[in-house]
Amino acid sequence: MPAVSKGDTPTGFVLSASMGAIAGAASKTVVAPVERIRLLMQMANAQSLGAGSGLRDVLQKEGPLGLWRGNEIAVVRATLQKGILFSVQDSLRVILNSDTIAGGIAGLTASGLTYPLDVLRTRHAGRVDAGPLLAVAREAIAAGGVFALWRGASATLGGGVLYEGMRFGAYNQLREQRNERGEARFGPATSGALASLAGGNIIYPNDTVRRRLQTVSGGGETYLQAVVALYREGGVRRLYRGFLLYNLKVLPSAAVQFATYAHLKGLATERSQRKAHAAGTVM
Protein backbone atom coordinates (compact mmCIF):
# COMPACT_ATOMS: atom_id res chain seq x y z
CA MET A 1 0.00 0.00 0.00
CA PRO A 2 1.12 3.60 -0.15
CA ALA A 3 3.93 4.24 2.24
CA VAL A 4 2.30 6.18 5.03
CA SER A 5 5.05 6.81 7.51
CA LYS A 6 5.36 10.39 8.61
CA GLY A 7 8.74 10.89 7.00
CA ASP A 8 7.58 9.77 3.59
CA THR A 9 6.68 12.01 0.70
CA PRO A 10 3.79 11.44 -1.71
CA THR A 11 4.48 10.09 -5.17
CA GLY A 12 3.09 11.74 -8.30
CA PHE A 13 -0.55 10.86 -8.96
CA VAL A 14 0.01 9.01 -12.25
CA LEU A 15 3.10 7.18 -11.01
CA SER A 16 1.34 6.19 -7.80
CA ALA A 17 -1.62 4.89 -9.80
CA SER A 18 0.69 2.86 -12.04
CA MET A 19 2.49 1.28 -9.10
CA GLY A 20 -0.79 0.50 -7.38
CA ALA A 21 -2.11 -1.12 -10.55
CA ILE A 22 0.92 -3.41 -10.81
CA ALA A 23 0.67 -4.34 -7.13
CA GLY A 24 -3.04 -5.11 -7.44
CA ALA A 25 -2.64 -7.28 -10.54
CA ALA A 26 0.22 -9.26 -9.00
CA SER A 27 -1.62 -9.95 -5.76
CA LYS A 28 -4.83 -11.08 -7.50
CA THR A 29 -3.05 -13.58 -9.74
CA VAL A 30 -1.11 -15.14 -6.87
CA VAL A 31 -4.20 -16.01 -4.82
CA ALA A 32 -6.72 -16.63 -7.64
CA PRO A 33 -7.29 -20.38 -6.95
CA VAL A 34 -7.99 -19.84 -3.25
CA GLU A 35 -10.29 -16.92 -4.00
CA ARG A 36 -12.24 -18.95 -6.59
CA ILE A 37 -13.00 -21.73 -4.11
CA ARG A 38 -13.85 -19.24 -1.38
CA LEU A 39 -16.28 -17.45 -3.67
CA LEU A 40 -18.01 -20.72 -4.58
CA MET A 41 -18.39 -21.57 -0.90
CA GLN A 42 -19.70 -18.11 -0.11
CA MET A 43 -22.28 -18.17 -2.90
CA ALA A 44 -23.52 -21.76 -2.50
CA ASN A 45 -26.92 -22.39 -0.92
CA ALA A 46 -25.98 -25.89 0.23
CA GLN A 47 -24.61 -25.89 3.75
CA SER A 48 -22.47 -28.93 2.98
CA LEU A 49 -20.31 -27.27 0.33
CA GLY A 50 -16.76 -27.15 1.66
CA ALA A 51 -13.37 -26.30 0.22
CA GLY A 52 -12.68 -29.92 -0.76
CA SER A 53 -15.98 -30.47 -2.56
CA GLY A 54 -15.70 -27.08 -4.25
CA LEU A 55 -12.21 -27.92 -5.49
CA ARG A 56 -13.32 -31.31 -6.83
CA ASP A 57 -16.31 -29.73 -8.56
CA VAL A 58 -14.14 -27.18 -10.35
CA LEU A 59 -11.50 -29.71 -11.40
CA GLN A 60 -14.10 -32.19 -12.69
CA LYS A 61 -16.16 -29.69 -14.68
CA GLU A 62 -13.61 -27.05 -15.71
CA GLY A 63 -10.17 -28.59 -15.26
CA PRO A 64 -7.17 -27.02 -13.46
CA LEU A 65 -7.54 -23.72 -15.33
CA GLY A 66 -10.99 -23.40 -13.78
CA LEU A 67 -9.24 -22.37 -10.57
CA TRP A 68 -8.32 -19.14 -12.36
CA ARG A 69 -11.81 -18.62 -13.79
CA GLY A 70 -12.75 -14.97 -13.49
CA ASN A 71 -9.15 -13.96 -12.83
CA GLU A 72 -8.97 -11.94 -16.05
CA ILE A 73 -11.69 -9.54 -14.97
CA ALA A 74 -10.40 -9.68 -11.39
CA VAL A 75 -6.99 -8.51 -12.61
CA VAL A 76 -8.53 -5.76 -14.75
CA ARG A 77 -10.59 -4.58 -11.79
CA ALA A 78 -7.66 -4.83 -9.38
CA THR A 79 -5.45 -2.89 -11.78
CA LEU A 80 -7.97 -0.06 -11.99
CA GLN A 81 -9.11 -0.20 -8.37
CA LYS A 82 -5.70 -0.36 -6.75
CA GLY A 83 -4.36 2.28 -9.12
CA ILE A 84 -7.16 4.63 -8.08
CA LEU A 85 -6.89 3.60 -4.43
CA PHE A 86 -3.15 4.19 -4.11
CA SER A 87 -3.09 7.46 -6.00
CA VAL A 88 -6.09 8.99 -4.20
CA GLN A 89 -4.88 7.89 -0.78
CA ASP A 90 -1.33 9.02 -1.43
CA SER A 91 -2.59 12.47 -2.40
CA LEU A 92 -5.19 12.90 0.37
CA ARG A 93 -3.03 11.66 3.25
CA VAL A 94 -0.95 14.86 3.08
CA ILE A 95 -3.96 17.15 2.74
CA LEU A 96 -6.02 15.50 5.49
CA ASN A 97 -3.12 14.46 7.72
CA SER A 98 -4.92 11.17 8.38
CA ASP A 99 -4.20 7.83 6.78
CA THR A 100 -7.48 6.40 8.06
CA ILE A 101 -9.71 9.13 6.61
CA ALA A 102 -7.71 9.28 3.38
CA GLY A 103 -7.93 5.50 3.08
CA GLY A 104 -11.68 5.55 3.62
CA ILE A 105 -12.24 8.18 0.93
CA ALA A 106 -9.89 6.36 -1.43
CA GLY A 107 -11.74 3.09 -0.77
CA LEU A 108 -15.07 4.72 -1.56
CA THR A 109 -13.73 6.24 -4.78
CA ALA A 110 -11.98 3.10 -6.01
CA SER A 111 -14.87 0.77 -5.17
CA GLY A 112 -17.45 3.05 -6.77
CA LEU A 113 -15.63 3.53 -10.05
CA THR A 114 -14.92 -0.18 -10.54
CA TYR A 115 -18.09 -1.67 -9.07
CA PRO A 116 -19.68 -3.08 -12.27
CA LEU A 117 -16.53 -5.15 -12.83
CA ASP A 118 -16.90 -6.55 -9.31
CA VAL A 119 -20.48 -7.63 -10.06
CA LEU A 120 -19.48 -9.33 -13.30
CA ARG A 121 -16.59 -11.09 -11.64
CA THR A 122 -18.84 -12.40 -8.84
CA ARG A 123 -21.40 -13.70 -11.33
CA HIS A 124 -18.72 -15.21 -13.57
CA ALA A 125 -16.64 -16.97 -10.90
CA GLY A 126 -19.36 -17.61 -8.30
CA ARG A 127 -20.90 -20.56 -10.19
CA VAL A 128 -19.24 -23.57 -11.73
CA ASP A 129 -21.85 -23.66 -14.51
CA ALA A 130 -21.60 -19.97 -15.43
CA GLY A 131 -20.99 -19.28 -19.11
CA PRO A 132 -18.35 -17.06 -20.74
CA LEU A 133 -17.90 -13.56 -19.35
CA LEU A 134 -19.74 -11.81 -22.19
CA ALA A 135 -22.67 -14.20 -21.83
CA VAL A 136 -22.78 -13.51 -18.09
CA ALA A 137 -22.82 -9.76 -18.76
CA ARG A 138 -25.62 -10.08 -21.32
CA GLU A 139 -27.63 -12.27 -18.95
CA ALA A 140 -27.30 -9.76 -16.11
CA ILE A 141 -28.32 -6.79 -18.27
CA ALA A 142 -31.19 -8.70 -19.88
CA ALA A 143 -32.57 -9.64 -16.46
CA GLY A 144 -32.24 -6.26 -14.75
CA GLY A 145 -31.03 -3.67 -17.21
CA VAL A 146 -27.80 -1.73 -16.89
CA PHE A 147 -28.60 -1.03 -13.24
CA ALA A 148 -28.15 -4.74 -12.54
CA LEU A 149 -24.42 -4.02 -12.68
CA TRP A 150 -24.85 -1.71 -9.68
CA ARG A 151 -26.86 -4.15 -7.57
CA GLY A 152 -25.63 -4.23 -3.97
CA ALA A 153 -23.45 -1.16 -4.45
CA SER A 154 -24.28 0.36 -1.07
CA ALA A 155 -22.90 -2.65 0.80
CA THR A 156 -19.71 -2.62 -1.26
CA LEU A 157 -19.15 1.12 -0.98
CA GLY A 158 -19.78 1.12 2.76
CA GLY A 159 -17.49 -1.85 3.20
CA GLY A 160 -14.82 -0.17 1.08
CA VAL A 161 -14.81 2.91 3.30
CA LEU A 162 -14.52 0.87 6.51
CA TYR A 163 -12.04 -1.69 5.19
CA GLU A 164 -9.59 0.67 3.51
CA GLY A 165 -9.83 3.18 6.34
CA MET A 166 -9.00 0.53 8.93
CA ARG A 167 -6.34 -1.01 6.72
CA PHE A 168 -4.42 2.17 5.96
CA GLY A 169 -4.69 3.32 9.57
CA ALA A 170 -3.43 0.00 10.96
CA TYR A 171 -0.69 -0.19 8.34
CA ASN A 172 0.62 3.23 9.34
CA GLN A 173 0.62 2.32 13.03
CA LEU A 174 2.53 -0.90 12.38
CA ARG A 175 5.08 0.79 10.14
CA GLU A 176 5.82 3.39 12.82
CA GLN A 177 6.70 0.76 15.43
CA ARG A 178 10.43 0.78 16.22
CA ASN A 179 12.72 -1.60 18.10
CA GLU A 180 15.44 -0.60 20.58
CA ARG A 181 17.81 0.21 17.69
CA GLY A 182 15.29 2.54 16.10
CA GLU A 183 14.61 0.15 13.22
CA ALA A 184 11.15 -0.63 11.89
CA ARG A 185 9.70 -3.69 13.62
CA PHE A 186 7.53 -4.64 10.67
CA GLY A 187 8.28 -4.41 6.96
CA PRO A 188 5.71 -3.41 4.32
CA ALA A 189 4.68 -7.01 3.60
CA THR A 190 4.11 -7.96 7.25
CA SER A 191 2.41 -4.67 8.11
CA GLY A 192 0.15 -4.89 5.09
CA ALA A 193 -0.77 -8.51 5.70
CA LEU A 194 -1.64 -7.93 9.37
CA ALA A 195 -3.58 -4.74 8.65
CA SER A 196 -5.56 -6.42 5.87
CA LEU A 197 -6.24 -9.48 8.01
CA ALA A 198 -7.60 -7.35 10.86
CA GLY A 199 -9.78 -5.19 8.63
CA GLY A 200 -11.08 -8.09 6.59
CA ASN A 201 -12.01 -10.17 9.62
CA ILE A 202 -14.08 -7.34 11.06
CA ILE A 203 -16.18 -6.72 7.93
CA TYR A 204 -16.26 -10.25 6.47
CA PRO A 205 -20.03 -10.78 7.04
CA ASN A 206 -20.64 -7.65 4.96
CA ASP A 207 -18.73 -9.27 2.10
CA THR A 208 -21.03 -12.31 2.20
CA VAL A 209 -24.10 -10.07 2.16
CA ARG A 210 -22.87 -7.97 -0.75
CA ARG A 211 -22.12 -11.07 -2.81
CA ARG A 212 -25.71 -12.21 -2.34
CA LEU A 213 -27.06 -8.80 -3.31
CA GLN A 214 -24.95 -8.87 -6.48
CA THR A 215 -26.36 -12.20 -7.66
CA VAL A 216 -29.86 -12.64 -6.20
CA SER A 217 -32.40 -13.31 -8.94
CA GLY A 218 -34.73 -10.44 -9.76
CA GLY A 219 -33.05 -7.96 -7.43
CA GLY A 220 -35.06 -5.80 -5.06
CA GLU A 221 -33.73 -7.48 -1.93
CA THR A 222 -32.64 -5.04 0.76
CA TYR A 223 -29.51 -5.36 2.87
CA LEU A 224 -31.50 -6.40 5.94
CA GLN A 225 -33.52 -8.93 3.93
CA ALA A 226 -30.28 -10.44 2.63
CA VAL A 227 -28.90 -10.74 6.17
CA VAL A 228 -32.09 -12.46 7.36
CA ALA A 229 -32.12 -14.83 4.37
CA LEU A 230 -28.51 -15.82 4.93
CA TYR A 231 -29.08 -16.31 8.65
CA ARG A 232 -32.00 -18.62 7.93
CA GLU A 233 -29.78 -20.71 5.66
CA GLY A 234 -27.22 -21.44 8.34
CA GLY A 235 -27.20 -19.04 11.25
CA VAL A 236 -24.24 -16.80 12.02
CA ARG A 237 -21.89 -19.38 10.50
CA ARG A 238 -23.50 -18.77 7.11
CA LEU A 239 -22.29 -15.17 7.18
CA TYR A 240 -18.75 -16.42 7.76
CA ARG A 241 -18.70 -19.17 5.13
CA GLY A 242 -15.30 -19.21 3.41
CA PHE A 243 -13.79 -17.26 6.29
CA LEU A 244 -10.78 -19.56 6.76
CA LEU A 245 -9.99 -19.50 3.05
CA TYR A 246 -10.24 -15.72 3.16
CA ASN A 247 -7.52 -15.64 5.80
CA LEU A 248 -5.36 -17.96 3.71
CA LYS A 249 -5.90 -15.67 0.74
CA VAL A 250 -5.49 -12.28 2.33
CA LEU A 251 -2.10 -12.93 3.94
CA PRO A 252 -0.14 -13.65 0.73
CA SER A 253 -2.29 -11.29 -1.32
CA ALA A 254 -1.75 -8.31 0.97
CA ALA A 255 1.92 -9.16 1.47
CA VAL A 256 2.51 -9.18 -2.30
CA GLN A 257 0.47 -6.01 -2.74
CA PHE A 258 2.21 -4.03 0.00
CA ALA A 259 5.71 -5.30 -0.81
CA THR A 260 5.30 -4.64 -4.54
CA TYR A 261 4.03 -1.12 -4.00
CA ALA A 262 6.68 -0.30 -1.40
CA HIS A 263 9.46 -1.62 -3.65
CA LEU A 264 8.25 0.30 -6.69
CA LYS A 265 7.77 3.45 -4.66
CA GLY A 266 11.26 3.08 -3.23
CA LEU A 267 12.72 2.85 -6.72
CA ALA A 268 10.74 5.90 -7.83
CA THR A 269 11.90 7.90 -4.79
CA GLU A 270 15.54 6.99 -5.37
CA ARG A 271 15.27 8.02 -9.01
CA SER A 272 13.70 11.33 -8.05
CA GLN A 273 16.42 12.00 -5.49
CA ARG A 274 19.17 11.21 -8.01
CA LYS A 275 17.62 13.65 -10.49
CA ALA A 276 17.37 16.34 -7.83
CA HIS A 277 20.98 15.74 -6.77
CA ALA A 278 22.19 15.87 -10.38
CA ALA A 279 20.29 19.10 -10.98
CA GLY A 280 21.78 20.63 -7.83
CA THR A 281 25.29 19.59 -8.87
CA VAL A 282 24.90 21.19 -12.30
CA MET A 283 23.67 24.44 -10.75
Average pLDDT over residues 91-104: 93
Range in 143-157, 169-183, 227-241, 268-282 with the lowest mean pLDDT: 268-282
pLDDT band at 110 (very low <50, low <70, confident <90, very high): very high
Q: How many CB atoms lie within 10 A of CB 221?
A: 17
Q: How many CB atoms lie within 10 A of CB 46?
A: 10
- Is the pLDDT assigned to residue 252 strictly greater than 80? yes
Range in 5-9, 100-104, 134-138, 206-210 with the lowest mean pLDDT: 5-9
65: which residues sit within 8 A by CB, 6+ positions away? none
Mean pLDDT value across the chain: 85
Q: What pLDDT is recorded for position 4?
A: 46
- Is the pLDDT assigned to residue 171 strictly greater than 50? yes
pLDDT band at 173 (very low <50, low <70, confident <90, very high): very high
Amino acid residing at 248: L
Average pLDDT over residues 158-174: 94
Domain extents in the chain: 13-272
- We find that the CATH architecture of domain 13-272 is Alpha/alpha barrel (1.50)
Q: How many CB atoms lie within 10 A of CB 258?
A: 28
Average pLDDT over residues 179-190: 88
